[in-house]
Amino acid sequence: MKPLNILGLAIFSLGSAILAGFGLYEFFKDTEIHQIVRWGIIVVILGLIILLISLISERLKEKEL
C-alpha cells in the first residue's frame, strides 16, 4: 500500500472514530431512549465491527498467499 493511501486511511479512521465516539456519548447521555432500543443498537454496531474485522483478516490472508 502506498504511504499516501495509508495516511488517508488513518485520517479517515481517526475522524470516523471521533464522530462515532461523540455519537455514542450523546446516545448514552440521552435518558429518553428505551433500554431495548439502546441494546439493539449496541448489538448491531458490535456485529458490524466483528464483520469488518473478519473481512479485513480474510483479505490480508488472501494477499499473503
- Same structural domain for residues 22 and 40? no
- Same structural domain for residues 24 and 38? no
- Same structural domain for residues 27 and 6? yes
Q: What's the CA gap between 41 and 45, in Å, rounded?
A: 6
Angle CA(34)–CA(40)–CA(46) in degrees, nearest 5?
Answer: 135
Q: Which residues constitute the domain of residue 45?
A: 33-65
| Amino acid identity, position 22 | F
Number of structural domains (the chain) is 2
Largest CA distance in the chain: 51
Q: What is the pLDDT of residue 65?
A: 67
- Same structural domain for residues 26 and 39? no
Question: Which grid coordinates are listed for 49?
Answer: 465491527
> How does pLDDT run across 9-23, given as a tens digit for each residue?
899 999 999 998 998
- A 10 A CB-CB count for 27 gives 13
> How does pLDDT run across 42-52, given as a tens digit for each residue?
899 899 989 98
Residue in this structure with the C-alpha cell 479485513, named with its chain if needed? 56
Give pTM, 2 decimals.
0.61
- Same structural domain for residues 40 and 27? no
- Same structural domain for residues 19 and 46? no
